[in-house]
Chains A and B, each alone.
Chain A
């Protein structure tokens, strides 16, 4: 089982290195298949460790250390992997969904000039993500955390000739670096108190620390989690990250990397449980994000941005679940979300691919008549997202909502927010669906649509979409609380769900019924407004403008951080660089030139002058020697 974990970790790394080393000696197509094979091999390793862990009994997580990674006094973290229920679950999701998406990329990226670079980055990302989830101590987790940020940056800016893509990549990197920094600070505090970053030691230490210290550590961790998972207030990078290729959005910015924050909270839950305030803040951020992102998604016109806001909103649910102590429910929603959100992105990618890169939903309308299967797949993903039974989202999302109702007095607030969120989810998801897929094809679609060898896309793209469509339907049947709950009991040794987050059956029933009803109501409203066009969109110009500006977060950050920094830089340039630094160069040159002009008089060209100087020099040396002695 440990062998499986190492195979899982190292296979994508080997893929990256092979593609990089082979360079142009292998074809672009071969690079794609190499990358796909490396990720599927990682999935095989994940399955191996899963079954190994099952046969050993899942309560025995085990750590395997290859060697001491670095040593500083008594602080010596090893290069180790951890196999426990939580990490195997993440390994399966990351490598499984990742493999399907890399396979899809072969068709999507076909014909791009720099395919090999793309696939090397994809393998690198999968390796980094696996390092994050498998790392046997917090330092390796942080290393993986930084590396996924790097590969995300590289892939968002993959089309580096587009200025918007480069700007988006920089934005994502800077915001994530902020989160990395707060996490590193939290780890420094832990090292100062326990001298170790091993999970067990750190968690044991957290129990003895003062309340303020634990709060600080948890706050640092929450900062990292919120930045990576695009939660308010560190969320503005995610919609811009849609500048990257669509499979990248599916893999990194929907299925895996952005959910790392939820994994972090579940992994370090002993620390968060010592810091109840911070955990409450995490849940509150989740609730706020799911509401705000749901609202903003209502007015976006770029198909990928709508799905990106929906991702933020769904991660908000996961944060809410993890924040109130329902770790298993959060992780379960993470899994089903990986299925249906990757599906939505990839189905949208098929439509974008068929329209030669067009992403504006107003131009795409009626594409469904050319892409019937894609339409069904997108519909399945949408229903799963809204949480209509028996699709996957119903089972995972409703359990979070029910858990919120049971949790403490403030749980009711979260419960109401989450229910409003389901209504919004139904509304924005089916607004997208009704605008893009059904109906008469628009003139733009008729003109630009091109079929791919009589199919809706290359086989490598259709197969993963089909598999994920099936998973979006049946993937939720794994757990139906409270009737059967294998995921919760599987995760129990690693992240035991708190008692406050275990709702009674009437709470489950009430929440599910309300959530489904509100989701369906959202779909109904969307149908009336966008499907049939019977009801006009209510005219609220002020609200609409605010939402179109994404509630002015970008503008506020611009005014708060960018503008002062830019003004300060300008001031320094004008007052210091130009008069002092830049003026110093010519001055130095002038001085040297003057000195040379004076000195050149000595060079007369007359032999006897030189001899005289020589003789004089000798005389001086002789006198000096005689006097000094």
Chain B
């Protein structure tokens, strides 16, 4: 099999996922949080594709396609929310958007 082994792919995948998760946890701007989420999803996708190539099955690739579809729809909703926040001139800060609490 050509190219690097599956471990390299998993390494990059874990790096991407970690970066994304860190971004979701520490950034306050909702736009950046969304971006970080996308990075996490892509990290997961890379792992799926890597395994698919390793095992030679098509299932992982199809799963990755499904994740992309979910990501696209999630971005639609997320960006819609960001636009709505902007229109109402609310602070672009997820920590201050915390009215829904117990």
- Report Cα–Cα, A611/B26, bound state, in Å: 11
Q: Which of A573-629 contact B (CB under 8 A)?
A: 599-608, 611-612, 615
- The answer to whether B102 touches A603 (Cβ under 8 A) is yes
Q: Kindly state whether residue B76 has any CB partner on chain A within 8 Å.
A: no
Contact A606/B102 with A611-B25, A612-B25 known, Cβ cut-off 8 Å:
no
Q: Which of B73-102 contact A (CB under 8 A)?
A: 94-95, 98-102
- From B26, B33, B101, A603 is in contact (CB under 8 Å) with B101
Q: Kindly state whether residue B24 has any CB partner on chain A within 8 Å.
A: yes
- Report Cα–Cα, A615/B21, bound state, in Å: 9
- From B24, B98, B101, A611 is in contact (CB under 8 Å) with B24
Chain B residues whose C-beta falls within 8 Å of the C-beta of A600 in the assembled complex: 102
What residue of chain B has the Cβ atom nearest to residue A607's Cβ?
B94
Chain B residues whose C-beta falls within 8 Å of the C-beta of A606 in the assembled complex: 94-95, 98, 101
A624 to chain B, nearest CB (A): 20
- From A601, A607, A611, A612, B102 is in contact (CB under 8 Å) with A601
Chain A residues whose C-beta falls within 8 Å of the C-beta of B98 in the assembled complex: 604-606
- The answer to whether B101 touches A604 (Cβ under 8 A) is yes
Chain B residues whose C-beta falls within 8 Å of the C-beta of A605 in the assembled complex: 98-102
- Report Cα–Cα, A601/B98, bound state, in Å: 13
- Report Cα–Cα, A342/B81, bound state, in Å: 87
- From A601, A602, A608, B25 is in contact (CB under 8 Å) with A608
Chain B residues whose C-beta falls within 8 Å of the C-beta of A602 in the assembled complex: 102
What residue of chain A has the Cβ atom nearest to residue B21's Cβ?
A615
- Report Cα–Cα, A600/B100, bound state, in Å: 11
B77 to chain A, nearest CB (A): 15
Central interface residue in B33, B95, B99, B101, by most chain A CB within 10 Å: B101
- Report Cα–Cα, A411/B24, bound state, in Å: 107
What residue of chain B has the Cβ atom nearest to residue A601's Cβ?
B102
What residue of chain A has the Cβ atom nearest to residue B26's Cβ?
A608
Chain A, interface residues (CB within 8 Å), range = 10 to 19
What residue of chain B has the Cβ atom nearest to residue A600's Cβ?
B102
- Report Cα–Cα, A605/B101, bound state, in Å: 4
What residue of chain A has the Cβ atom nearest to residue B27's Cβ?
A608
A622 to chain B, nearest CB (A): 13
Chain B residues whose C-beta falls within 8 Å of the C-beta of A608 in the assembled complex: 24-26, 94-95
A592 to chain B, nearest CB (A): 15
A616 to chain B, nearest CB (A): 12
What residue of chain B has the Cβ atom nearest to residue A596's Cβ?
B102
Chain B residues whose C-beta falls within 8 Å of the C-beta of A603 in the assembled complex: 100-102
Against A, the Cβ 8 Å flags (1 = close, 0 = not) of B2-42 are 00000000000000000001001110000001000000000
Contact A607/B33 with A612-B25, A615-B21 known, Cβ cut-off 8 Å:
yes
Chain B residues whose C-beta falls within 8 Å of the C-beta of A607 in the assembled complex: 24, 33, 94-95
- Report Cα–Cα, A607/B85, bound state, in Å: 16
Chain A residues whose C-beta falls within 8 Å of the C-beta of B33 in the assembled complex: 607
A231 to chain B, nearest CB (A): 73
What residue of chain A has the Cβ atom nearest to residue B98's Cβ?
A605
Chain A residues whose C-beta falls within 8 Å of the C-beta of B101 in the assembled complex: 603-606
- Report Cα–Cα, A139/B54, bound state, in Å: 80
Chain A residues whose C-beta falls within 8 Å of the C-beta of B26 in the assembled complex: 608
- Report Cα–Cα, A612/B99, bound state, in Å: 19
Chain A residues whose C-beta falls within 8 Å of the C-beta of B95 in the assembled complex: 606-608
What residue of chain A has the Cβ atom nearest to residue B25's Cβ?
A608
B52 to chain A, nearest CB (A): 21
Chain A residues whose C-beta falls within 8 Å of the C-beta of B25 in the assembled complex: 608, 611-612
- Report Cα–Cα, A611/B27, bound state, in Å: 12
Chain B residues whose C-beta falls within 8 Å of the C-beta of A599 in the assembled complex: 102
What residue of chain B has the Cβ atom nearest to residue A606's Cβ?
B98
- Report Cα–Cα, A605/B102, bound state, in Å: 8
Chain A residues whose C-beta falls within 8 Å of the C-beta of B94 in the assembled complex: 606-608
Chain A residues whose C-beta falls within 8 Å of the C-beta of B24 in the assembled complex: 607-608, 611
Q: Which of A69-87 contact B (CB under 8 A)?
A: none
Chain B residues whose C-beta falls within 8 Å of the C-beta of A612 in the assembled complex: 25
What residue of chain A has the Cβ atom nearest to residue B101's Cβ?
A605
Chain B residues whose C-beta falls within 8 Å of the C-beta of A611 in the assembled complex: 21, 24-25
- Report Cα–Cα, A607/B21, bound state, in Å: 12
B91 to chain A, nearest CB (A): 14
- Report Cα–Cα, A602/B101, bound state, in Å: 9
B47 to chain A, nearest CB (A): 14
- Report Cα–Cα, A211/B102, bound state, in Å: 79
- Report Cα–Cα, A289/B92, bound state, in Å: 97
- Report Cα–Cα, A612/B24, bound state, in Å: 10
Against B, the Cβ 8 Å flags (1 = close, 0 = not) of A320-354 are 00000000000000000000000000000000000
A138 to chain B, nearest CB (A): 69
A601 to chain B, nearest CB (A): 6
A596 to chain B, nearest CB (A): 9
- Report Cα–Cα, A606/B99, bound state, in Å: 9
What residue of chain B has the Cβ atom nearest to residue A612's Cβ?
B25
A156 to chain B, nearest CB (A): 61
- Report Cα–Cα, A603/B26, bound state, in Å: 19
Chain A residues whose C-beta falls within 8 Å of the C-beta of B100 in the assembled complex: 603, 605
- Report Cα–Cα, A611/B102, bound state, in Å: 17
Chain A residues whose C-beta falls within 8 Å of the C-beta of B21 in the assembled complex: 611, 615
- Report Cα–Cα, A615/B98, bound state, in Å: 20
B39 to chain A, nearest CB (A): 14
B40 to chain A, nearest CB (A): 10
A112 to chain B, nearest CB (A): 63
- Report Cα–Cα, A608/B98, bound state, in Å: 11
Chain A residues whose C-beta falls within 8 Å of the C-beta of B102 in the assembled complex: 599-605
- Report Cα–Cα, A601/B102, bound state, in Å: 6
Chain B residues whose C-beta falls within 8 Å of the C-beta of A604 in the assembled complex: 98, 101-102
A605 to chain B, nearest CB (A): 3
- Report Cα–Cα, A513/B40, bound state, in Å: 118
B8 to chain A, nearest CB (A): 22
A463 to chain B, nearest CB (A): 81
- Report Cα–Cα, A457/B67, bound state, in Å: 91
A45 to chain B, nearest CB (A): 76
B21 to chain A, nearest CB (A): 7
A201 to chain B, nearest CB (A): 75
- Report Cα–Cα, A603/B98, bound state, in Å: 10
A-B pairs with beta carbons under 8 Å apart, 5 shown: A603-B100, A605-B101, A606-B101, A607-B24, A608-B94
New contact pairs (20) apart from A605-B98, A611-B25, CB-CB < 8 Å: A599-B102, A601-B102, A602-B102, A603-B100, A603-B101, A603-B102, A605-B102, A606-B94, A606-B98, A606-B101, A607-B24, A607-B33, A607-B94, A607-B95, A608-B24, A608-B94, A608-B95, A611-B21, A611-B24, A612-B25
The 9 A-B residue pairs with the shortest CB-CB distance in the complex, in nearest-first order = A605-B101, A600-B102, A605-B98, A603-B102, A607-B94, A608-B25, A603-B101, A604-B101, A606-B98
